[in-house]
Structure 1
Amino acid sequence: MSEVFEGYERQYCELSVNLSRKCTSASTLPDGAQRNQQLAELNATLDEADVLIRKMDLEARSLQPSLKVTFLAKLREYKADLNKLKKEVKKLALANSNQASQEDLLEAGAYAASTNQRERLSMSTERLDRSTDRVRESRRTALETEELGISILEDLHQQRETLLSSHIKLHGVDDAIDKSKKILSSMSKRMSRNKWIVGAVIGVLVLAIIFILYFKLSH
């Protein structure tokens, strides 16, 4: 028997058991950093197992033909076991890669959704800003219109005051005209009376003159 081969064999069996245990443990781990770390450890252990297989192969081929056949048969079993373990690790890595791809897709989708949300939010903000500007413009126009209306009302009030003042003045003129009419009417009546008085005086004087002439002529 080859003690060197048996030493490699014991080391490989320990690695094989360790690999099987780690594969089972990795399959139950949640996706993420822990599984990635476990896969890295599995790959490192597989490399160690590959090294041991090559050492056992070299050792078996260096033995006598009677022993070589026995050890090469064992080596084929270990190689088959190692290939099986490699397939399990590859399967775990593929599942983890698919999960990572799905997560990337989800993240990409989430990023796209977030980008769309930001774009919609930006568009909504722009529409809100435009609406705010329109409201401000409408308010400014309303204030200008209100100021113009107040100015017009003030002008109308001043014109009303002017018209009222003119009306008062015209009323005063009307009163003065009425007074003047009354004075003229009174003067006209007085003149009419004076005419009658003057006429009466003249008539009396004429009668007196006629009477005097008659008296003188008759005597």
Structure 2
Amino acid sequence: MSDVFEGYERQYCELSANLSRKCTAAGAVDGEQKKQKVSEIKSGIDEAESLIRKMDLEARSLQPNVKAVLLAKLREYKSDLNNLKSEVKRIVSGNLNATARDELLESGMADALTASADQRTRLMMSTERLGKSGDRIKDSRRTMLETEELGVSILQDLHSQRQSLLHAHNTLHGVDDNIGKSKRIMTAMSRRMSRNKLIIGSIVAVLVIAIILILYFKLAK
């Protein structure tokens, strides 16, 4: 539902009711008073036509489902305006005598005003139903926005968790590198210790052989 359309709609309904009252008053007077009231009515009808054009432009700029409902309402407003124009024509065309005017006021005008009142009642009921539909659309839109915000929040949480997992992966990769370096150092130390043991064993063997030789020569003398 368009807030702009609703604003024009309220203005039109108020103006239409005012014009209807003026038509009734104009039909009951003569002379300059009648001319003045007819002039005011024609000015009001021009304003009503301007409001209908604005509503038509606004309705055609909306989504198709809303557009169809508003254009249907607009056709009723146009029909209501045509009734007002017909009333004005009957008043203006008027060189009617008092009896004819009384009959017109008592019969035709009364019927026209009754039909116009019934039509306005239907229009107001349609406006109320359309307003409720607009509220439901607004609620649906609000729910969609809340769902979208929730989806964005979930995506942000997932992105944060992904960053944490990448950081943990990088940390583990660094630990693996350090373990690999430590393993290579331990292997190098083990090899060095093995060489040192071999050297020490060789030295000990040489010393033992030397001692044995010394003891042998001393005992031989």
Aligned to 1:119: 153
The answer to whether the aligner puts 1:169 opposite 2:164 as a matched pair is no
User: What does residue range 68-217 of structure 1 map to in structure 2 within 5 Å?
Assistant: 68-72=101-105, 73-186=107-220, 188=221
Q: Identity over the aligned pairs, expressed in percent?
A: 5
The answer to whether the aligner puts 1:65 opposite 2:90 as a matched pair is no
Aligned to 1:19: none
Deviations 1:161-216 (A, max 9, x none): 22222212322332232233223322x3xxxxxxxxxxxxxxxxxxxxxxxxxxxx
Q: Cα distance, 1:38 vs. partner?
A: 1.7
**Structure 2 vs 1, CA of residues 157 and 75 (structure 1 numbering), >3 Å: closer, same or farther?**
same
**Structure 2 vs 1, CA of residues 179 and 37 (structure 1 numbering), >3 Å: closer, same or farther?**
farther
Greater RCO, CA 8 A, separation 6+:
2
User: What does residue range 17-96 of structure 1 map to in structure 2 within 5 Å?
Assistant: 31-59=65-93, 62-72=95-105, 73-96=107-130
2 CA distance for matches of 1:104 and 1:63? 54
Moved more, 175-184 or 96-105: 175-184
Q: Cα distance, 1:31 vs. partner?
A: 4.8
The structure with more radius of gyration:
1
For residue 96 of structure 2, give the secondary structure of its aligned residue in structure 1: coil
1 CA distance for matches of 2:78 and 2:209? 127
Deviations 1:105-154 (A, max 9, x none): 21122112211220122022112212321231133123213312321231
Contact 1:57 1:75 survives alignment (8 Å): no
Q: Cα distance, 1:58 vs. partner?
A: 4.4
Amino acid at match of 1:84: D
> Which runs of no fewer than 5 residues in structure 2 stay unpaired?
1-63
2 CA distance for matches of 1:137 and 1:65? 104
Task: Tell me the TM-score normalized by structure 1.
Answer: 0.63
2 CA distance for matches of 1:68 and 1:55? 14
2 CA distance for matches of 1:155 and 1:71? 123
Task: Tell me the TM-score normalized by structure 2.
Answer: 0.62
Q: Cα distance, 1:82 vs. partner?
A: 1.3
Aligned positions, number: 157
1 CA distance for matches of 2:169 and 2:156? 20
